[in-house]
Amino acid sequence: MNNKYFKFLLIALIVAIIVPQITLASWWNPVSWGLWGRLWGAFHKQTPVACTMEAKLCPDGSSVGRQGPKCEFKDCPNLVGGDKDAHGCIGSAGYTWCEAKNKCLRVWEEPCETDQTADWKTYTNTQYGFEIKYPSDWKVVIPERSPMSIFSALWEQPNKGFEEPYIMTLGIDEKNGKTVQQWLTGESIPYYNFIENAKIDSIDGVIAKGLATMGSDFHVAIFPKRDYMFFLGISSNPPEISEGGIGLLKKVISTFKFTK
């Protein structure tokens, strides 16, 4: 073979074998990655984007400009207090407008409803340690003896005799180890049906319904305290107004406080 052609084939073989190996080794070598990155960037260099100098006014009075790569406006700062409604109430802080009280308030801190018991009178009993509010036009009658409980009281509207629409009674009896549910279903009060659970001055109790004397509806709240069981009830005469009676009972319950 001609010596000239032999040298050419040998050089071509060396290039075909060795050069790809060197290239591959340098590609996977971390030292060379920065070099390859610079070479790639040099061939794919992007032209900088020039955004216009417009500004957008934010609700809090500040302004934001455009930014790349699409020249969109930046987001406005999300500041608490920047979402006042027509009444000036800050919704993000939990305030809503209360029409009844004519002000902004947080409903979990202050109910929107006005206190309908604000002008009621207060009855206080130091012997059993409690107080309760009742409508200002009612009177309190404390019987000298109670054949059914160790203590009882009666609230009624004066000068109406048996024609008053509502009569409220309170009875206290020895608990004798019984639970509220046992009292509810026991022989001592066999005509009451459970309606709902209730809280009376943070004490768990129930509200029940039964048929009182003379055909009037009777709703009662039953709740324990120390060694006693309390029964606070309202009779509605005639039965058709019993919804008002249970509503009145719940208002009275909301005023009941233990003083010892």
Residue 36: its pLDDT value, please?
46
- The predicted-structure confidence for 46-64, as pLDDT tens digits, reads as follows 566 677 777 777 766 677 7
pLDDT exceeds 90 at position 20: no
pLDDT exceeds 90 at position 74: no
CA distances from 105 to 38, 87, 114, 247, 256 (A): 61, 11, 13, 25, 25
From 236, 146, 224, 127, select the one nearest 181 (Cα to Cα): 224
Residue 252: its pLDDT value, please?
93
pLDDT exceeds 80 at position 158: no
- pLDDT classification of 9: cutoffs 50, 70, 90: low
pTM tops 0.95, yes or no: no
Q: Catalogue all structural domains in the chain, each as residue range(s) with its CATH number.
A: 55-105 (no CATH), 121-258 (3.40.1000.10)
- pLDDT classification of 124: cutoffs 50, 70, 90: very high
pLDDT exceeds 90 at position 120: yes
Q: How far apart are the first and last CA of the chain?
A: 122
pLDDT exceeds 60 at position 129: yes
